[in-house]
Structure 1
Amino acid sequence: MNETLTTAPVVPSKNAIALRYGIICGVITVVYSLILNITELALTHQVLGWISFLIVIAAIVMAMREFKRQNQGFMSYGQGLSIGTIVVLVSSVLGGIFTYLYVTIIDTGYIEKMRNLQVAELEKKGMTDDQIDQAMRITDKMMTPTMIPLMAILGGLVLGFLLSLIIAAIIKHNRPEFE
């Protein structure tokens, strides 16, 4: 008998690819955040913070494209969603660790600066002192060295998951069922 055996294509490790791009994304966003914080542009020009989202989008896209490249041009929607979510998880955790270290070691007055900026914004909106005090009591519970990174991680995961849903739908290319 002269039968030829066909082997299934080897699927690359989506976890390894996602981890690599998550670390890259995390390092880039940490360096970018550090620059914004040191120059205090993060406090005065909040729109610059949105550039971090572009960095995350780029990392998700690059990770999914790398997986497709290693997988003969194919990536299912689920694989893409998994890759994007892992990229964001790793990046968010690195960012959360950095944020904690930043507010507890590097710039211990950062939370107070943020608080003062928020009070000034509320005053600009014409709120009364009682309204500002009430708003700041709530805000103060969330602006602690522990809560800020936790909220950043949670927010990053939610936003990153939503981005991954969209990006995976655009980039996916399913392998034909019968080849």
Structure 2
Amino acid sequence: MENYSTTSVSPSKNAIALRYGVIFGIISIVYSLILNITDLAFTNQALSWFSFLILIAAIVLAMREFKRQNNNYMSYGQGLGIGTLVTAVSSALGGIFTYIYVKFIDTGFIDKMREMQVSELEKKGMNDDQIDQAVAMSDKMMTPEMIVVFAILAGLFFGFLLSLIISALIKRTRPEFE
């Protein structure tokens, strides 16, 4: 008579995070495209912040899926890893899209950003010399490549922070003697 063990296999954090990262990446690309085409990205900053709510939903859904597949358990570290990977995948996809969009589709995108920056600086009461100096400094950073780098880094930073918080709220540690 053979003795088979009934050990359960832990779900793959990476597979779950990759799936939700791709889904969120595609959703955020479509949302970003809509904002850019309608010029709402420049005129309504509140709509730009809505993407954070979408990211929060993606992180929460990925963590909940992991817990569901793991007998309703998820450690803080597992949650942090899942949320960070979701963010990394979606930021990479968003970065690729942003590069293609700024470099090939809407070549005037950087000019629109510069105009918005000048408008904001004027609202703050800066004089023309101060504005020219600020624009000259930011022009060094406003290339398609640098926009992508900053978008990915900002996405990773905020995604990591959100993952820290969400993981702390959603975690459910497995008892030591189960």
Give the TM bin, normalised by the shorter chain.
over 0.9
Name the counterpart of 1:164: 163
Q: Secondary structure at the match of 1:174?
A: coil
Shift of the alpha carbon at 1:133?
Answer: 1.0
In 1, the alpha carbon distance for the partners of 2:66 and 2:41 equals 34
Corresponding residue for 2:45?
46
The Cα shift of 1:9 comes to 2.2
1:5 is displaced (CA, Å) by: 6.2
Q: After TM superposition, what 4+ stretches of structure 1 lie above 4 angstroms from structure 2?
A: 2-6
1:112 match: 111
Structure 1 residue matching 2:144: 3-state secondary structure? coil
Aligned equivalents of 1:156 and 1:144: distance in 2? 18
Separation in structure 1 between the aligned mates of residue 29 and residue 124 of structure 2, nearest angstrom: 32
Distance 2:123 2:67 in 1: 50
Counterpart position of 1:88: 87
* Distance in 2 between residues matched to 1:110 and 1:175, nearest whole Å: 50
TM-fit CA distance, 1:141: 1.2
Whole-angstrom distance in 2 between the partners of 1:3 and 1:47: 63
Q: C-alpha offsets along residues 76-134 of structure 1, whole Å, 9 cap, x if unaligned?
A: 11100000000000000001111101101110001001101111221122111110011
2:30 aligned with 1:31, yes or no? yes
Matches of 1:129 and 1:144, distance apart in 2: 23
Hey, what's the Cα distance between the residues in 1 that align with 2:139 and 2:45? 20
Letter in 2 for 1:78: G
Aligned-pair Cα RMSD in Å:
1.4
The amino acid across from 2:102 in the alignment is V
User: For 1:10-29, what aligned pairs fall within 5 Å after superposition?
Assistant: 10-29=9-28
Counterpart position of 1:77: 76
Residues 32-90 of structure 1, C-alpha deviations (whole Å, 9 max, x = no match): 00000000000111110111000000000000000000001000111000000000000
Task: Provide the C-alpha distance between the structure 1 equivalents of 2:104 and 2:2, rounded to a whole number of angstroms.
Answer: 67
- Distance in 2, Cα, partners of 1:176 & 1:10: 17
The count of aligned residue pairs is 178
Cα shift at 1:8: 3.1
What is the CA distance between 1:30 and its match in structure 2?
0.4
Which structure 1 segments of 5+ residues have no match? none
How far apart in 2 are the matches of 1:120 and 1:82?
A: 40
Q: How many Å separate the matches in 1 of 2:43 and 2:146?
A: 22
- Residue identity in the other structure for 2:59: I
Shift of 1:10: 1.1
Q: What's the % identity of the aligned pairs?
A: 71
Is 1:135 the counterpart of 2:101? The answer is no
